[in-house]
Amino acid sequence: MRFTNCPILARAALGLAALLAATTAGAAADYAAGPLKIGHPWSRATPNGAQVAGGYLAVTNTGSEPDTLTGATIEEAGRAELHTMSMEGGVMKMAPVEGGLVIKPGETVTLKPGGYHLMFLDLKGPLKKGQSVKGTVTFAKAGTVPVDFTVEGIAAKAPASGAAEMDHGGMEHGGMGHGGHAH
User: Domain coordinates of the chain in residue numbers?
Assistant: 30-152
pLDDT bracket for residue 161 (50, 70, 90) = low
Q: Residue 5: its pLDDT value, please?
A: 53
**Rounded distance between C-alpha atoms, residue 82 and residue 80, angstroms:** 7
**Rounded distance between C-alpha atoms, residue 162 and residue 57, angstroms:** 10
Q: Residue 176: its pLDDT value, please?
A: 35
> Do residues 112 and 56 touch, judged by C-beta distance below 8 A?
yes
Report the largest interatomic distance among the alpha carbons of the chain, rounded to a whole angstrom: 71
Of all residues in the chain, the percent with pLDDT exceeding 90 is 62
Instruction: Say what the pTM is.
Output: 0.72
Pick the CATH number of 30-152 from 2.60.40.1890, 2.40.290.10, 2.60.40.1180, 3.50.50.60: 2.60.40.1890
Question: Picking from 70-84, 108-122, 153-167, which range would have the lowest pLDDT averaged per residue?
Answer: 153-167
A 10 A CB-CB count for 64 gives 8
> Do residues 141 and 74 touch, judged by C-beta distance below 8 A?
no
